Structure 1
Amino acid sequence: PTHKSITKPNFKTNSKVKTNLLHKNTTLRPKLIILADSHGKKLSTMVEERSSLNVCSYVRPGAGFGQVVEEVGAITKSLTSSDYLLVMAGTNNVEKSGVNQLMSDVHKLINNVKHTNLLLATLPMRHDRWELDPKITKINAELENISKLHDGTVKLLPLHLLPRHMFTAHGLHMNRRGKNQAAKMIMNLARKKVVECEAEVQISTSALHGVKPMTMLNPNEINIVEANMSDMIEAFKDDTSVAFSHSISEDFHMSAGVAVVFRREFQRPKTTDYVQSRLTRQKRLNGATIYSLVTKSKYHGKPTLNDYNTAFTQLRQDFKKEQLKTLICSPMGCVRDEIELEHFACSIKEFQQNTGATVGIICYDEPSPRRQLRKGLSHSDFLRRLKIEIDKQVTEEATTSQQVTEEAT
């Protein structure tokens, strides 16, 4: 059999199991074994139907991390370096276990599966128990550190980035839309050809190092994402911790580029939406925040650096005041307004450093036969230059911090 979904209630290894079979040609197909608590229900079917993977899942509703992986040695003994093991567990440990105990279980797992590739799911945020989120955030940060130590053999499945509307009304479990999104994320991590499904983001230059699909935002870092802003808005518009931002003119013309997307999705801001002299703030009901940086007076003009810098400072101040966590923005001012990439990179680095936010810079190949965009750079060259400038800013900051530390000691 190619696809097997096994549910083990009450964590008993000798319980009756429910098995579903789908018959496909399995010759030379990489294997994916899923060990999960209830978050893994029906996920194996969604992955296998859209990929070339041979999937088998073992689901234990209500189980803790240790119980989910207790038979990992026997279950994964046939896996090779071409195969994958996905572990989705830990949610049921948050209330009962300490962070150190859970991390100890994770380290034991890694030592037991060095013969294959481990995909380790982060813990989803608890939309039913918000008071647990600080502990979940700490656990996910530890998981990220572990994945960096085992770069190449351990990859994270960032379920904590899924927005609220991808969970059930209760808030604990993913709904069908959330599981579809998780299936896409799994296939991206496994680097297998994916059958396109709803709202799939097209990656036209995915070979560019450091340019990520939209589901792969590294937390508390600056990420460059090649996608259409419409897709990002659709994915995150109902998340109250997310802010979208772009730059506009005082006349609220919004007739070209990403401004058209913002106008269509959120309407034009009103004068009553000004929260500071160069910043407007709109908010969806029970959803995301929308910032417009007012950097120039007329849509056909260009911003001064003083006005641009003022708008960025005001964005940073209000973002912190509103206690937001994620900023999804365009490369503000760099496509049409001739702001230098180096200046934008410096501004967004200062924003991220000051707020600690997860930042996604959204770029897409916008055709414009009548107007030169990106100061004449092609889309791919623009992406490369943007990544170079972001990396340069991050490296310079790290070097400065190291020098300060050395001088202090």
Structure 2
Amino acid sequence: MCEPQDPVRSHDVKSEDGSWSLSHVTGDLFSCGGDEALAHCISEDCRMGAGIALVFRQRFRGEEELKEQKKLTGQCAVLKRDRRFVYYLITKKKARHKPTYDSLTLSLEDMRSHCVKNGVTRISMPRIGCGLDRLDWTRVCEILEQVFRHTHVCITVYSLPPKTAAAVMKGNMRR
């Protein structure tokens, strides 16, 4: 189970039977436990040169391993690191492109299939598609609920505090 350091919780969405949930916290995504799956969005070319994708690249490496999987837009590449799966949602062809809600939905459905098949019940992620990719968070939340509500997968979405987020974005834009 993921125990974020000093999280500030906002709203949660849960299924009636408690088997699925979507929680929002303010804090560091990488503060969760080492057995919690992680997810974020990348392009087919696996560039990961800005935003949180850059942090994933630095922490988990594996660019060649990801490229060898030959995943296309709407699919999900996967790395196994220690006790966790790290999901790379392929939402666009090139790093400079922008994703669509359809490509995000398809890649989430692919990730869901992997989760169900491999017994993954907890995933932590940033506000996927909503940083540099500029998707609308309200719509992305609806898609997450639609894709995962009939599973036993609990999702925790992390947002950085506003000052930290601004500093990170400014630092990543220089690269």
TM-score (norm 2): 0.77
Q: State whether residues 249 and 294 of structure 1, in contact with CA within 8 Å, keep that contact through their aligned partners in structure 2.
A: yes
Q: What amino acid maps onto 1:352 in structure 2? A: F
Larger Rg: 1
Q: Kindly state the Cα deviation for residue 305 of structure 1 after the two structures are TM-superposed.
A: 2.8
Whole-angstrom CA distance in 1 between matches of 2:156 and 2:123: 6
Tell me how far 1:271 sits from its aligned partner.
2.0
Identify the residue that residue 292 of structure 1 maps to in structure 2: 88
Where in structure 2 are the equivalents of 1:221-260 lying within 5 Å?
A: 221-232=21-32, 236-237=33-34, 239=35, 242-260=36-54
Aligned match of 1:262: 56
Structure 2 CA distance for partners of 1:290 and 1:371, relative to 1, 3 Å = closer
Structure 2 residue runs without a partner (length 5+):
13-17
In structure 2, C-alpha distance between the alignment counterparts of 1:275 and 1:260, rounded to whole Å:
19
Aligned residues: 160
Tell which has more relative contact order, 1 or 2 (C-alpha 8 A, sep 6+): 2
Give the TM-score of the pair, scaled to structure 1.
0.35
Aligned residue number for residue 309 of structure 1: 105
Structure 1 position 284, deviation (Å): 1.6
Matches of 2:80 and 2:140, distance apart in 1: 25
Aligned mates of 1:316, 1:369 — CA distance in 2: 33
| Distance of aligned partners of 1:317 and 1:275 in 2 relative to their CA distance in 1, 3 Å threshold | farther
2: distance between equivalents of 1:347 and 1:279?
Answer: 16
2:103, 2:157 → 1: CA distance?
21
In structure 2, the CA distance between the partners of 1:354 and 1:254, relative to structure 1 (3 Å rule), is same
Q: Secondary structure at the match of 1:318?
A: helix
Give the unaligned 5+ runs of structure 1: 1-160, 163-180, 182-199, 212-217, 373-409
Higher strand share: 2
| Counterpart position of 1:282 | 79
- Indicate conservation of the 8 Å contact 2:19/2:152, yes or no: no
Cα RMSD, aligned residues only: 2.8
Matched, 1:201 2:32: no
How far the C-alpha of 1:275 sits from its partner, in A, is 6.5
Distance 1:210 1:303, change over 3 A: closer
Residue 315 (structure 1) shift: 1.2
Q: Is it true that 1:326 corresponds to 2:130 in the alignment?
A: no
- Change in Cα spacing, 1:275 to 1:317, as seen in structure 2 (3 Å) is farther
Q: Distance in 1 between matches of 2:75 and 2:170?
A: 31
- Give the deviation of 1:369 after TM superposition: 4.2
Displacement of 1:332: 0.9
Contact (CA 8 Å) 2:11, 2:24: kept in 1 or not? yes
Q: Quote the sequence identity (%).
A: 20
